């Protein structure tokens, strides 16, 4: 790192308080118009910066990374998921990568719970019905949804967010089941009264709601494939606040259209920001524009993490949130 303040290039507009602090600490180039950078702009930034602060909307792949300048030593991602970055190539080129784990756990878990309620209880349909002035009075069979209390929830990925979802869901009377690379600590399993499934296939056949809470890695791409989606009960719901790529979105749309799955709540999409038009046409889905962690508090906490990661790195220490290959 240079003796003068390092050049930190931030690709998107961040909360004011974060940008102000960054400008105090570093030679910071901001993106006040918040216009996403195209590939050429990204390469230009990588060639000039000591530190790049990208977000999920920046694709930092090998093609871009091979063009990085010799000065670039740190990519401090504003976000927890790092599937937008080719971390392996970055590390091979001596570039450290950090992320912002932990600070968006509760917000994302809240949104997961919101979708878990919204789909079976038909919240969006209800709102639309009022907006269309189609509510002509209560009746016993009007807008019947399905109870979640007492049902089985299968959590795919029992990391921080999966556990936070489990805590909430337990309070809503759901039975907690999960599939993970390995079982969580027995104390956590006891607290959540959670059942571990080594076999994802077996878990899927028995769940009433499945929640995707694992990162997108080569190992989880289309983990919920057409074959696996077909294992789910026709009365089951699927919720995804993690990454769209974990689900074969076309297969999911097909299955809901065919009545082989009761519905889905999706905050993320396979080809974001594009949303599969078939999903948009379905009534029993609730679709959100990647809002899982979208709270002002969360964004400020994320920004503070980014600052801590940059500052410790610039001061010659190991930043706390280094992404290591074992995590991928």
Cite the active site residues.
Answer: 243, 272, 290
Whichever of 203 and 246 has its CB closer to ligand 8YV, that residue is 246
Given the complex with ligand 8YV, which of 179 and 305 has the nearer CB atom?
Answer: 305
Among positions 10, 18, 43, 78, the unique one binding ligand 8YV when judged by CB under 6 A: 78
Residue 98: strand, helix, or coil = strand
Largest CA distance in the chain: 73
Minimum gap (Å) between residue 160 Cβ and ligand 8YV: 12
Q: Taking the complex as a whole, how short is the minimal distance between the CB of residue 226 and ligand 8YV, in angstroms?
A: 25
3-class SS at 281? coil
Q: Which residues are within 8 A (CB) of 258 and not within 5 positions of it... i.e. 6 or more apart?
A: none
Environment class of residue 150 by beta-carbon count within 10 Å: exposed (0-12), middle (13-18) or buried (19+)? exposed
Tell whether residue 56 is a contact of ligand 8YV (CB under 6 A). Answer: yes
Q: Report the C-alpha gap between 261 and 20 in whole angstroms.
A: 48
Q: Which residues contact 290 (CB under 8 A, 6 or more apart)?
A: 56, 267, 268, 269, 272, 273
Q: Judged by CB under 6 A, does residue 81 bind ligand 8YV?
A: yes
Among 293, 303, 313, 321, contact with ligand 8YV (rule: CB under 6 A): 293
Pick from 11, 31, 80, 213 the residue near ligand 8YV by CB under 6 A. 80
Nearest C-alpha neighbor of 311 from the set 18, 16, 40: 18
Name the residue nearer to ligand 8YV (CB basis): 208 or 245: 245
Question: Taking the CB of residue 179, how many other CB atoms lie within 10 A of it?
Answer: 24
CA angle 321, 322, 324 (to 5 degrees): 135
Binding mask 240-279 for ligand 8YV (x = CB under 6 A): ----------------------------------------
User: Using the rule CB under 6 A, is 288 a contact of ligand 8YV?
Assistant: no
Residue 17 CB, nearest approach to ligand 8YV (Å): 17
| Nearest distance from C-beta of residue 284 to ligand 8YV, angstroms | 25
Q: What are phi and psi of 263, to 5 degrees?
A: 165, 175
Residue 192 and residue 171 in contact, taking contact as beta carbons nearer than 8 Å: no
Piece of the chain touching ligand 8YV by CB under 6 A; list 77-85, 120-128, 146-154, 247-255:
77-85
Residue of closest CB approach to ligand 8YV: 79
Count of residues that interact with ligand 8YV, criterion CB under 6 A: 9
How many whole angstroms separate alpha carbon 57 and alpha carbon 42?
11
Nearest distance in Å: CB 200, ligand 8YV: 22
User: What is the phi/psi pair of residue 193, to 5°?
Assistant: 50, 45
The stretch among 79-87, 129-137, 155-163, 258-266 that binds ligand 8YV (CB under 6 A) is: 79-87
Write out the residues near ligand 8YV by the rule CB under 6 A: 55-56, 78-81, 104, 292-293
């Amino acid at each position: 790192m240079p003796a003068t303040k390092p050049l930190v290039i931030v690709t998107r507009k961040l909360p004011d308080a974060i940008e102000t602090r960054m400008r105090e600490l570093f030679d910071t180039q901001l993106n006040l118009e918040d216009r996403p950078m195209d590939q050429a702009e990204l390469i230009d930034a990588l060639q000039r910066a000591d530190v790049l602060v990208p977000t999920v909307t920046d694709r930092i792949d090998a093609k871009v990374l091979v063009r990085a300048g010799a000065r670039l030593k740190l990519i401090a991602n504003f976000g927890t998921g790092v599937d937008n970055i080719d971390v392996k190539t970055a590390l091979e080129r001596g570039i450290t990568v950090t992320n912002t784990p932990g600070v968006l756990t509760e917000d994302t878990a809240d949104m997961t719970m919101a979708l878990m309620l919204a789909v079976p209880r038909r919240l969006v349909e209800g709102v639309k019905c009022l907006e269309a002035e189609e509510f002509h009075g209560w009746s016993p069979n009007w807008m019947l949804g399905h109870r979640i209390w007492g049902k089985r929830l299968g959590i795919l990925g029992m990391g921080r967010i999966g556990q936070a979802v489990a805590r909430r869901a337990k309070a809503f009377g759901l039975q907690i089941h999960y599939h993970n690379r390995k079982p969580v600590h027995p104390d956590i399993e006891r607290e959540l009264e959670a059942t571990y499934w080594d076999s994802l296939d077996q878990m899927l056949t028995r769940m009433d709601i499945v929640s995707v809470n694992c990162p997108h890695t080569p190992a989880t791409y289309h983990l919920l494939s057409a074959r696996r989606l077909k294992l789910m009960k026709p009365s089951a719901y699927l919720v995804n606040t993690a990454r769209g790529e974990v689900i074969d979105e076309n297969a999911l749309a097909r299955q809901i259209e065919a009545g082989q799955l009761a519905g889905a709540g999706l905050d993320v999409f396979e080809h974001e920001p594009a949303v599969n038009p078939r999903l948009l046409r379905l009534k029993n889905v609730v679709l959100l524009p990647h809002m899982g962690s979208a709270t002002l508090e969360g964004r400020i906490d994320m920004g503070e993490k980014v600052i801590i990661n940059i500052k410790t790195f610039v001061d010659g220490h190991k930043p706390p949130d280094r992404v290591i290959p074992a995590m991928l």
